[in-house]
């Protein structure tokens, strides 16, 4: 199992935090803007109120043209630092009194009542009424706060909001970093476990391999010597029969029994030699499809009436192996299949051409390693009782058998395995208890084709 | 006050009375008479000039000026007569000022005395640094049931407050 690094998953909280920070900032800006609007509206209201009060209180002074009194009224307004200029004009538009704190001088033209905005200040003009008739106007100029003053007023708020946004950002970034690191750690952990598992499997395979090697060498050596001994005994038996001459009839039963026992012992040693890959082989090019087709009658005879045989022979490639041994192997596998199906079933024999880049799963003992390339697959499949995993794993061990004592030697699959490996092929056993077993041979393709 | 006059005496004199004539009319909107004085909203506000007219026709020129719905009327009288329905009574140098003032005492009439008279009405003109100004006797105005706007009091040269003796 390989974990894909998921980038979007750690950037999601950051994006959320960014959005939150942006919303916070936006809310701060909106609040400041709203405050500003309120403040401006309030300021304008105040200035207009002052203009109206001034207009109401200077009527007499205007009527009597008392510029001193008007000036007093205007001077009273000086306490308001926002007012930078003020003026009172009579009906004809003549300036009666004024003060200017800074900036542009007061306008001299006839002024229309209302509010005029200009950069940095706002002008308010109120008519002075007496009995409903205009007798003059009042002009007030209020500074609108300069940007830096306004900013300073909101500096605290801006600072707080910015800090809040920053805190959110930093927290989410560190959170994302932590999450990323935790994910990396868990990925590393998963990889470590995978590697440990692979290592365990490799060690298991190595152990199995060296076990097979040791057992093979030991049993092969013994079998070899044993075979020679059998041959000596067999030769001596023949000499004994010859020496006895006519008297041999009396001892015929014993001699024949001994001879048959020796034959069985020789067959056994042959099988052990086959497992230990020490049997003499005479490889020849062969098409497994043809081989199986030629054995059809033999297989049918061997498995009996209760088992249905299905063949699907699609392989066209040639391989090179000992044909007699291959026939033995196929027959052996067919008999194993039959034994797995005491109540009948289907035996399938299939061949096909395959190109392998990887060893088939659950391949028995790769030994020195896998060679990628073209292979002919031969599958012998039954619908029998199948094997549990622990049995399947020991299936090729020599002398391992689940058959009752005396029924099996425990050498059939061992021999098959030895032969296949000696022929540079691979043996795979797949089995599901209750469903059946499939034994697959992958024999290397022989490119040159048949000789002759 | 910003209006100053200068130049020859006759010119000064004529300007002085022009200003005084204008002031007489301008006082009107700042004075509230008792409700009993006016019988209709369009009844004129009458300015009576006791005795000789020092304004030389300038005051008569103000006739017809309106405050709200109320026009201004000018009357010349020789004696103060309560039935003359005067709201303002100008008492100049040429008349027996004391008689007029006594006659108008306790009446809802704003007595206006010319400058340099020994007696003083509710409003009395003064000349201060070549400017026409006025004093207000708010205490006697109050006794006569007259209300004088604080705006006008504010412009006065001197004010005798209510309750003052």
User: Which CATH number covers residue A286?
Assistant: 3.30.565.10
Measured distance CA(B1)–CA(A61) in Å, rounded = 9
Q: Mean pLDDT, chain B, as a whole number? A: 81
- Best B22, B154, B159 residue to mutate vs chain A (most A CBs within 10 Å): B154
Highest mean pLDDT among A186-190, A412-416, B102-106, B139-143: A186-190
DSSP string, A49-88: HHHHHHHHHSHHHHHTT-HHHHHHHHHHHTT-TTEEEEEE
In a domain, A131, yes or no: yes
In a domain, A403, yes or no: yes
ipTM associated with this complex: 0.75
- The answer to whether residue A65 neighbours chain B at the CB level (below 8 Å) is yes
Residue where a domain terminates, one of A145, A173, A191: A145
CB burial of residue B39 (10 Å; 0-12, 13-18, 19+):
exposed
Query: How distant is the Cα of A88 from the closest Cα of chain B, in angstroms?
Result: 14
As given in the structure block, the two tokens for residue B144 are 């006569």
The reply to whether B2 falls in a domain is no
Chain A / chain B CB contacts < 8 angstroms: 37
Number of other residues whose CB lies within 10 A of the CB of residue A245: 8
Helix (H, G, I), strand (E, B) or coil at A244: helix
| Each residue's pLDDT tens digit, A135-145 | 888 888 888 77
Partnered with residue A129 across adjacent β-strands are A134
Nearest-by-CA chain B residue for A59: B151
CA distances from B6 to B16, B116, B130 (A): 10, 19, 8
Q: How far is CA A11 from CA A14, A25, A198, in A?
A: 5, 21, 33
B6 has a pLDDT exceeding 70: no
Q: Which token pair is A389?
A: 């995993």
Output the pLDDT for position B10.
46
Query: Nearest residue of B to residue A73 by CA position?
Result: B154
* Residue pLDDT, tens place only, A164-201: 888 888 888 888 889 889 999 999 999 999 999 999 98
Give the residue from A329, A288, A285 showing the smallest Cα distance to A311.
A288
Q: Which DSSP category does B38 fall into?
A: -
pLDDT tops 50 at residue B50: yes
Confirm whether B32 is domain-assigned: yes
- For chain B, the domain total comes to 1
* CATH of residue B30: 3.40.50
Number of domains chain A contains: 2
Q: How far apart are CA A17 and CA A1, in angstroms?
A: 32
The distance of A44 to chain B (nearest Cα, Å) reads 26
Which of A67, A69, A130 has its CB closest to that of B154?
A: A69
Q: What average pLDDT does this structure show over A334-357? A: 90
Task: For residue B51, give its domain range.
Answer: 9-160
Distance CA A446, CA A320 (A): 6
CA distance linking residue A388 with residue A365, whole number of Å? 19
Q: What is the pLDDT of residue A368?
A: 62
Which of A111, A145, A179 marks a domain boundary?
Answer: A145
- Give the range of the structural domain holding residue A328, as residue numbers without chain letter: 281-444
Cα(A23)–Cα(A153) distance, rounded to whole angstroms? Answer: 22
Q: What is the mean pLDDT of residues A221-229?
A: 86
| Contact criterion met (CB below 8 Å) for B44 and B72 | yes
DSSP state letter for B82: G
Query: Does the pLDDT value for residue B8 go beyond 60?
Result: no
Smallest Cβ–Cβ distance between B3 and the set A61, A63, A65 belongs to: A65
Residue pair A394/A212 in contact by the 8 Å Cβ criterion: no
> Residue A107 pLDDT more than 80?
no
Of A145, A162, A183, the position where a domain reaches its end is A145
Nearest to A60 among B1, B2, B155 (CB): B155
User: Which residues in chain A have Cβ-Cβ distances shorter than 8 Å to B30?
Assistant: 60, 63
User: Does residue B165 form part of some domain?
Assistant: no
Residue A135 lies in a domain: yes
CATH code at position A73: 3.30.450.20
Whose CA is closest to B88, among B107, B70, B69?
B107
B4 found inside a domain: no
pLDDT of residue A354: 92
- Asked if B151 reaches chain A (Cβ–Cβ under 8 Å), the answer is yes
Tens of pLDDT, residue by residue over A1-35, are: 444 444 445 567 677 778 888 888 888 888 888 88
Q: What are phi and psi of A400, to 5 degrees?
A: -85, 125
Those residues whose C-beta lies under 8 Å from the C-beta of residue B11, and which sit 6 or more positions away, are: B5
DSSP assignment letter at A128: E
pLDDT over 50 (residue B14)? yes
Contact A60 B1 (CB under 8 A): no
Tokens describing residue A434: 């209750």
Report pLDDT digits (tens) over B57-112.
888 888 878 888 888 889 888 888 777 788 888 988 876 767 777 777 778 889 89
Question: Does residue B4 register a pLDDT over 50?
Answer: no
Q: Is the pLDDT of residue A154 over 80?
A: no
Query: Could you give the 3-state DSSP secondary structure of residue A325?
Result: helix
- For residue A394, tell me if it sits in a domain: yes
Contact between A287 and A295 under an 8 Å Cβ cutoff? The reply is: no
Distance CA A401, CA A412 (A): 9
- Report, as an integer, the average pLDDT of A70-90: 86
pLDDT in the model for residue A449: 55
Cβ A64 vs Cβ B23: under 8 Å: yes
Sheet with strand A83-90: strands edge to edge: A95-100, A83-90, A133-143, A121-130, A114-118
Distance CA A84, CA A102 (A): 6
pLDDT at A232: 92
Within a domain: A440 = yes
pTM reported for the whole predicted model: 0.47
- pLDDT of A351 higher than 90: yes
Percent of chain A with pLDDT over 70: 92
Please indicate, yes or no, if residue A152 is contained in any of the structural domains. no
Q: Is residue B139 part of a domain?
A: yes
pLDDT at A58: 87
Q: For residue A347, is pLDDT > 90?
A: yes
Cβ atoms within 10 Å, residue B28: 20
């Amino acid at each position: 199992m390989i974990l894909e690094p998921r980038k979007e998953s750690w950037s999601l909280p950051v994006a959320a935090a960014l959005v939150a920070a942006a919303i916070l900032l936006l809310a701060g800006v909106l609040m400041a803007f709203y405050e500003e609007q309120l403040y401006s509206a309030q300021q304008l209201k105040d200035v207009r109120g002052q203009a109206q009060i001034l207009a109401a209180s200077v009527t007499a002074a205007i009527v009597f043209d008392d510029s001193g009194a008007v000036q007093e009224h205007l001077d009273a307004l000086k306490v308001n630092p926002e007012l930078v200029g003020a003026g009172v004009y009579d009906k004809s538009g003549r300036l009666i009194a004024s003060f200017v704190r800074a900036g542009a001088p007061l306008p001299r033209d006839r002024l229309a009542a209302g509010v005029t905005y200009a950069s940095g200040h706002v002008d308010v003009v109120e008519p002075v009424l007496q009995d409903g008739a205009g007798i003059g106007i009042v002009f007030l100029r209020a500074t609108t706060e300069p940007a830096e003053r306004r900013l300073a007023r909101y500096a605290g708020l801006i600072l707080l909001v910015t800090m809040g946004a920053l805190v959110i950002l930093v927290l989410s970034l560190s959170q994302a970093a932590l999450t990323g690191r935790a994910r990396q750690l868990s990925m590393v952990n998963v990889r470590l476990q995978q590697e440990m598992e692979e290592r365990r499997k490799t060690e298991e395979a190595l152990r199995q391999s060296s076990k097979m090697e040791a057992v093979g060498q030991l049993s092969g050596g013994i079998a070899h010597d044993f075979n020679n001994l059998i041959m000596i005994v067999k030769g001596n038996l023949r000499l004994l029969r010859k020496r006895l001459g006519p008297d041999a009839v009396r001892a015929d039963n014993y001699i024949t029994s001994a001879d048959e026992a020796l034959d069985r012992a020789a067959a056994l040693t042959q099988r052990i030699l086959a497992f230990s890959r020490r049997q003499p082989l005479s490889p020849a090019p062969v098409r497994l499809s043809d081989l199986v087709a030629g054995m059809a009658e033999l297989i049918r005879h061997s498995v009996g009436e209760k088992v249905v045989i299905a063949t699907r022979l699609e392989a066209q490639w040639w391989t090179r192996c000992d044909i007699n041994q291959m026939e033995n192997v196929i027959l052996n596998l067919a008999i194993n299949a039959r034994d797995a199906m005491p109540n009948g079933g289907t035996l399938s024999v299939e061949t096909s051409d395959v190109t392998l880049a990887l060893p088939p799963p659950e391949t028995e003992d790769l030994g020195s390693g896998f060679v990628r390339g073209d292979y002919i697959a031969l599958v012998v499949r039954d619908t029998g009782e199948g094997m549990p995993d622990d049995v399947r794993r020991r299936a090729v061990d020599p002398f391992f058998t689940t058959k009752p004592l005396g029924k099996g030697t425990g050498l059939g699959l061992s021999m098959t395995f030895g032969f296949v490996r000696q022929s540079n092929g691979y043996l795979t056993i797949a089995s599901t208890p209750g469903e059946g077993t499939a034994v697959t041979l992958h024999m290397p393709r022989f490119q040159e084709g048949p000789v002759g | 006050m910003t209006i100053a006059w200068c130049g020859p005496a006759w010119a000064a004199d004529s300007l002085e009375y022009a200003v005084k004539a204008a002031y007489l009319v301008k006082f009107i909107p700042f004075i509230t008479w008792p409700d009993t004085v006016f019988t209709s909203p369009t009844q004129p506000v009458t300015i009576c000039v006791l005795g000789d007219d020092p304004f030389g026709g300038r005051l008569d020129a103000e006739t017809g000026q309106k405050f709200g719905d109320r026009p201004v009327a000018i009357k010349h009288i020789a004696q103060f007569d309560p039935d003359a329905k005067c709201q303002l009574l100008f008492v100049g140098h040429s008349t027996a000022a004391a008689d007029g003032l006594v006659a108008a005492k306790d009446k809802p009439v704003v007595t206006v005395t010319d400058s340099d008279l020994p007696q003083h009405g509710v409003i009395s003109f003064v000349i201060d640094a070549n400017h026409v100004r006025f004093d207000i006797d708010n205490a006697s105005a109050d006794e006569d049931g007259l209300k004088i706007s604080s705006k006008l009091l504010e412009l006065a040269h001197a004010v005798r407050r209510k309750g003052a003796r």
